[in-house]
Amino acid sequence: MKKILMSLVLVLGFASVAMAGYDKCAGCHNGKVSPDKAALTAKFKTAADFIKAAKESKNPMMNAVKGNEADLKAAAADLGLK
């Protein structure tokens, strides 16, 4: 029983790691609701620019991620921005 519990914790741990970074943004940033990966990388050349724009976005849909610097940084890294 303990083993099953342990592996469940591990699997959940990995799943949440897999959902980090740009995966958290891709649901909205799909080119329909908001700019997709290609549009974002075309517009922003550095991670600093990207993170600043994310924080300054006036769109209420961005409120949930705005304050999460770690997520924004991970997303920038996923987009290949430095």
d(CA 76, CA 46): 8
d(CA 81, CA 59): 22
d(CA 78, CA 81): 7
44-73: which residues touch ligand HEC (CB under 6 A)? 50, 53-54, 57, 59, 61-62, 65, 71-72
Least CB distance from residue 3 to ligand HEC, whole Å?
35
Query: Given the rule CB under 6 A, which residues bind ligand HEC?
Result: 24-25, 27-29, 33-35, 43, 50, 53-54, 57, 59, 61-62, 65, 71-72, 75
